[in-house]
Chain A
């Protein structure tokens, strides 16, 4: 990662070509599935394309879905650099969403369960500050959520994959409990929900689009994450500890602190995704928040090989698949789970393709055209 040299361009090509190849294979397998369902695969591909990337209007829908994916993907991608496999993305998102709504309601009305009078009068705090407060709340909540997983891992040797998975269920149960009682809006009878944030304090759309500012959050955070891992001393230390913990210890790096910090950052990204969903899309918390962005985020991180920049692009691709699932149902009357089937296929193929790195002949350096570099002289320095 130091400098792009002739020896590294093959690596880069490999890192791009293998996931793309895997996606193509997954598409082909998906085509077989479609044929099995009695649909023309080409028609299905065409519909996916046209309903996800076909024109600016539908592409906006794709970007809308990509925004939370970029953030949840980081929840897996960052700890992976430290050798941890964390899949608590969904839970951190939910916890972040809950924290955002609580902060938002308190900053808007002075209470999580405002009375009728309080609802009449939104407090005079500038919306940007309320939004910042919500973001901060979600970052801290999501961060602590996954930091707990990291701490359990480091200090008590609890498997982080299992514990983060279980933490998802706890988060969802916690949210259900809160919206069913402590923060419930009694006016809402169909679906237990929290109170709704006032429009003025919600995330606006980018000018002339229906895309909210959350997309910007996602891209900016991904760029920061990339920078943090590749160019800072913190990232260097994390990569060292992830690569060989014994070497990290010999260098005196604080492995425990690094683990907890990376996990905090990871959780805070997913938490921020919860804030984006709440503040831009739902306006409140209820079970619609559990929409699977967390799980799809894991997939994004895998396909992107834990590279935060690649996460943005992969999020857009997979966001498109999500966006097209409605059209598949409506226009082709394909089963509800079609998009999930496709995601599952992508998952399998990507996991398999991991075994291909370094094996494909075309990505191997064919050797020198020019002379061999001068060999080291035989004398040993005195």
Chain B
């Protein structure tokens, strides 16, 4: 087994790295079913040595399933994995590591209470019972010296920012001598500039021929600026492959959707009346660790207005949304909706028609083991027609669910499937369906509503938010994507260090001033 990556870690790391070029990786006719759902149907993929390869497709197309099969998390029903022209069996992530394949997940897998060094050593598959720390630290320092990005070895992972944590995940793979890096939507937790930095550094490794990369992304910008080749999946089937320079974004979109579609811009309608819907007075709230996250914010959102809140994550926007969603209590200050004090009780939510699209919908807005139908009914199960007195009428819940699954194109085997089994984008759609389908919305609070969604769905959500605004809904949009905010907002506010640091109408927004405020100056 000449191409097996040696698992020696001490000593001349850089020599080894330089010596071995990434293997040639091919997936041939891979199929995978989940129950009656065909997630992958005869899919093939070729990652040539030293290329940056993008895997594209709509939500639920089977991208994550494909890479999980390649990593040995799932056992494919059919298909071969060919490494350097030899068919190989990968039955576990350990096998994958054996062939030099490593994966970076969308969520972090490091232990926050341990240091960077400890996390790196722990990630190894060949850790010995007794760790010789002196030797390991020397090896780690040698490794860091040659690594594309640096992290302080002694820092606790919990103290790293999101971008640094993501870098650590990637470093971990390099430390493990992974030659083929699989990245599943790695940039969804990063701001655009952090994403560019991380991808840029990986790109250099690929250009130097040290690494091959297979990346799953919904962002065409990343594909066109960093990738060499793409493979597209559509509804579990292979839909095409090609070199990025030979393709336009429209071509890629067409491969993904199977048809050409023109974006349908929604015009903003000017509103005449100025009626305040959401009012915050001197709102304070704490983080989980008891430190203050919001230092007294004042805000009014009017009917028919989208107020965008920009900011680098961790500056209090999460806590703000949680207070408004009823998941966190304010330490002082007041929230008013339609001029009445608002504490997000079920009664008030119904009375004032407040809806929330939180970030990380599976964690924040769904019960993973309950069915899609039950999750769709979370806001309505205790009212007719879904309830009769104290009884829940499951037939009515199912009926409504079928309708919503249809309108919002939620890809699920049945309405009874646990929502935790759906693909990331489809979980998002489930929450969207629940929160946006109500016939009358008064106030909508959305936090990064387009995370992890394919471009068609992003268009759709933007359209929905704009048309809600045009109907007179007051919208508070918290997002880390400045482009999204500039496109949708009527008024833009920058939050920094738990305070509002900049505010202007969108027409007068000054890009330099916004960046300045976001950076906390």
Cβ-defined contact, B394 with A246, below 8 A? no
Whether A380 contacts B390 by the Cβ 8 Å rule is: no
B91 within 8 A of A: no
The reply to whether B327 and A246 form a contact with Cβ atoms under 8 Å apart is yes
In the complex, which residue of chain A has the Cβ closest to the Cβ of B370?
Answer: A243
Q: Are A3 and B416 in contact (CB under 8 A)?
A: yes
Task: Report if A368 contacts B (CB, 8 A).
Answer: yes
CA distance A3 to B398 in the complex (A): 10
State whether the Cβ of A177 lies closer than 8 Å to any Cβ in chain B: no
A229-237, A276-284, A301-309 - the one binding chain B: A229-237
- CB < 8 Å A-B pair total: 128
Residues in A whose Cβ lies below 8 Å from that of B387: 233
**Could you tell me the distance in whole angstroms from the C-beta of A369 to the nearest C-beta in chain B?**
9
A232 to nearest B CB, angstroms? 5
Contact assessment for B379 and A251 in the assembled complex, using a CB-CB cutoff below 8 Å: yes
Write out the residue numbers on chain B whose beta carbons fall within 8 Å of the beta carbon of A373: 36-37, 413
Given A380-B409, A380-B457, CB of A368 within 8 Å of CB of B36: yes
A375/B346 in contact, CB under 8 A? no
With an 8 Å Cβ cutoff, the count of chain A residues facing the other chain is: 37
Question: Which residues 1-25 in A have Cβ within 8 Å of B in the complex?
Answer: 2-3, 5, 7-8
A365 to chain B, nearest CB (A): 4
**CA A7 – CA B415 in complex, angstroms?**
11
- Least distance between B368 CB and chain A CB atoms (Å): 7
Q: Which chain A residues border B222 with CB–CB below 8 Å?
A: none
| C-alpha spacing A151/B325, complex, angstroms | 23
Q: How far is the CA of A375 from the CA of B57 in the complex (A)?
A: 14
From 260 to 275 in chain B, residues with beta carbon under 8 angstroms from any chain A beta carbon are: 261, 264
CA A234 to CA B409, docked complex, whole Å: 30
- Cβ < 8 Å to B, chain A residues 223-241: 231-237, 239-240
B367–A372 contact, CB under 8 A?
A: no
With A243-B369, A250-B326, A380-B459 as contacts: A5 and B414 at CB distance below 8 Å:
yes
Cβ contacts A to B, 11 pairs, < 8 Å: A2-B373, A2-B394, A233-B392, A236-B382, A243-B368, A247-B366, A251-B379, A254-B345, A368-B35, A372-B37, A376-B411
Mark A residues whose CB is within 8 Å of B.
Answer: 2-3, 5, 7-8, 231-237, 239-240, 243-244, 246-247, 249-254, 365, 367-368, 372-373, 375-382
Question: Which B residues have a C-beta under 8 Å from some C-beta of A?
Answer: 33-38, 58, 77, 235, 257-259, 261, 264, 325-327, 344-350, 356, 358, 363-371, 373-375, 377-379, 381-382, 387, 390-392, 394, 397-398, 407-409, 411, 413-416, 456-457, 459-460, 463
Extra A-B contacts (12), CB below 8 Å, given A235-B392, A381-B409: A232-B390, A232-B392, A233-B382, A236-B377, A236-B392, A240-B367, A243-B368, A247-B378, A252-B346, A252-B350, A368-B33, A381-B408
Smallest CB-CB A-B distances: 5 pairs: A252-B346, A243-B367, A365-B35, A233-B382, A367-B33
